[in-house]
Structure 1
Amino acid sequence: MSLSSGGVSRSRRFVLRQFRAEESVAEFAARMGWPMTVDLPGDKRRGVPRRLAWQIAPGATLNFFQDDTLRVSYVSVMSGLGREFADQLIPLAVAEIDVYDDSELVHRMDDAGNEKERAKAVIQAGIGAPREFDERYYACFLQAAENRTPAIREAAVHAIFYTKWQEFADILTDISEADPKKAIREFAGRVLTAFGGAGS
């Protein structure tokens, strides 16, 4: 899972429509003349996504992640020059990459044809959600967390983990204490710990 660390700032993530998109993203980077700086294999057993990165400008890279566990691919810009600089490069970085916009990510959670598709849509929305709190996503994740299907509730916890929105702390507490499935209770507890503890 992609997190900012070591003084490196990350833009929001953008979810690709196509799961197997490594070749098309690499071709785009090559057309732009961006040299590859990272080529790391993934580890499905440990939940570590494959990662490729290309230098867009000094101090900034376009990063591609392919998560074989969640079956989703996404891109983001990382920069050692601050988040504002990373965000400024987003229009250039995703100019020719086929990604979902906010409206599509939100609507796909409601429009999914079956429970499996909805669970996947919830996770994708969590990965692609804005960095700042957004009521549209919040309402959908809350609804998913209360769904009677365990796979969708688990997907909601995944999505909440990716957003890192503190507004979910109380909800995570409730899930960790009251979800009917032990595995989901424990998962929510781990995410809550990553959030820094119980909500107020």
Structure 2
Amino acid sequence: MLVSRRLVLRHGDEADVGKHAAALGYTKRMDVAADEDAEIARTVIWHADTGPGLVYREDLATGLPFLVVTSADPVELRGAVELAETVLDTWRLAELLAGVDAGQRPRDLAEAILLLGLGAPSSHDPRFYSRVSRHLASADATVAEAALFAVRYQPWEEYVDLIAELAAGSGPAAASARELLEQLEDDGVDDDLRQAGE
């Protein structure tokens, strides 16, 4: 079973990830051009016959480039992630959290929340959850919508009740919350999410 970790690139791009992959002796295995009309993200995959793999993508919603490090071994994954963080200019978890905590205008806060969501760990992390959930109920539509979109990146089941509550209300993000519940139901992300959307 593959485990993975997503790292958001701060200033780097596909070429930087390609150099990193080449230095590791990885071979490019897939190269997919972006197609916004078909909602296909730019994707490039490198890996060797064994060991971790690297997946470069450009997020369709934000345009942010990110790297997914994959491995069948959690210990091996940790080492590959630490190496990628060192070689490539990626946002560290503490920086993503601090970005949301900083006092900001709504637009800046919304951007920080999207970045936080994109860089969130795959497993539930209460530090990320508390920050996203806090802003789901924001009176500012831009901030609330950003928090909802952050949930899409890592739809942990802990968000179910909050999203269902938003969907049942009349707040600025109610319509988007209902849409998100329907999408998660269609995607089959989680039984609880499906039930909440019914």
TM-score by length of 2: 0.82
1:44 paired to 2:36: yes
Match of 1:53 in 2: 45
Let me know the Cα RMSD of the aligned residues: 2.4
CA contact (8 A) 1:77 1:87 kept: no
TM-score by length of 1: 0.81
CA contact (8 A) 2:114 2:150 kept: yes
1:146 paired to 2:141: no
CA contact (8 A) 2:107 2:142 kept: yes
* 1:64-75 correspondence to structure 2 within 5 Å: 64-75=56-67
Distance 2:45 2:123 in 1: 25
Counterpart amino acid of residue 155 in structure 1 = A
Match of 2:182 in 1: 190
Counterpart amino acid of residue 52 in structure 1 = V
Q: What's the secondary structure of 1:171's corresponding residue?
A: helix
Q: How far does residue 158 in structure 1 lie from its aligned partner after superposition?
A: 1.7
Change (3 A) 1:112 1:195: farther
Match of 2:158 in 1: 167
Residue-pair matches, total: 190
Partner of residue 54 from structure 2, selected from 48, 62, 71: 62
The ranges of structure 1 where at least 4 consecutive aligned residues each deviate by more than 6 angstroms after the TM superposition are: none
Identity %: 24
Distance 2:74 2:40 in 1: 24
Distance 1:148 1:46 in 2: 33
Match of 2:27 in 1: 35
Partner of residue 125 from structure 1, selected from 101, 111, 116: 116
Match of 2:5 in 1: 12
Match of 1:24 in 2: 16
Change (3 A) 1:184 1:111: same
1:3-45 per-position Cα deviation (integer Å, ceiling 9, x unaligned):
xxxx6x2412111112x61122222222333221111112223
Distance 2:143 2:93 in 1: 20
Match of 1:4 in 2: none
Counterpart amino acid of residue 11 in structure 1 = S
Change (3 A) 1:46 1:107: farther
CA contact (8 A) 1:10 1:76 kept: no
